[in-house]
Structure 1
Amino acid sequence: MSTTIEGESGSGVDGRVAPRHRVLIAGTIRYAGGIGTASCVVRNLSETGAKLTLSESLNLPTHFDLAIAQKNAVHRCELRWRRGEEAGVAFLDASASAPAAAPAPPIATPEIDALRARIRTLEAENARLKARIAELAGG
């Protein structure tokens, strides 16, 4: 983890391998073998990583896939930092600029559908609990 990916400049002064470009693109985070998904916004992007904005209540795993439909790309990512609704990720795939293959169709079985519903329920409950904690803390 020698590359720092925080900040906005792409000058290389902050240790980045590739310059970041500010963007505003919809993305989809896929985790747990594609069972869990979450929407995000890609705020800046380079060949080696990105900064994302996502729900603060989402418990983001260390490794996940990021699909960026507008760029026709899917990247294997490693979470490098997280502050509230923002997260920095590094791309682990060999060629971040290569177009991704078409995503596999979602698996639909009663068990997987039940797991997806449970994940949505738990994420909503997590968001409610965080809001209640903030309310009780006076925030």
Structure 2
Amino acid sequence: MTTERRKTPRQRTLLGGRIVFNQRRSTLDCVVRNFSDAGALVLLSDSVALPVAFDLEIDHRQSSYGARVRWRDGERIGLSFADHAGAGNEVIPLDIARRLKHCEQNNAQLKARIAQLTQAG
């Protein structure tokens, strides 16, 4: 029998998730197989390269979590959430994360338009 090393028990799940990185410009779909307040186990194609830190969005929970890769074994990836790793981050509601992404895109478009108008003038 193996000894449980986690500080918080994980609950088995079968939830669709999305890994978001590269300033919210890159996303990868994944399956969340277990979940706790401190971390999760996700399944993702083993050929996909991931950054060490990213956001994990779970539509069913309508939340986004700052996550770090703790281990990887093929398609299985163990994550810890940033707020439990000492980073002080809080869970961000998914609607707010989406609004933030939309605002960042609008900001980039406005900056490009300002640069265009400045060069034309």
Match of 1:100 among 93, 115, 118: 93
| Partner AA of 1:33 in structure 2 | Q
2:50 alignment partner in structure 1:
60
1:87 corresponds to which residue? 77
Greater helix share, structure number: 2
Q: 1 or 2, which has the higher strand percentage?
A: 2
For normalisation by structure 2, the TM-score amounts to: 0.71
Q: Which runs of 5+ in 2 are unaligned?
A: 110-121
Aligned partners of 1:64, 1:105: CA distance in 2, in Å?
14
CA shift for structure 1 position 99 = 5.9
**Alignment partner, residue 25 of structure 1:** 15
**Higher Cα radius of gyration:** 2
Provide structure 1 residue ranges, at least 5 long, that are not aligned to the other structure. 1-8, 111-139
How far apart, CA to CA, are the structure 2 residues paired with 1:73 and 1:57?
26
Q: 1:95 to 1:21 in 2, by over 3 A?
A: farther
TM-score by length of 1: 0.62
The residue type paired with residue 91 of structure 1 is F
Root-mean-square deviation (Å): 2.3
Aligned length: 98
Aligned letter for 1:62? V
Paired with 2:89 and 2:14, the residues of 1 have a C-alpha distance of 22
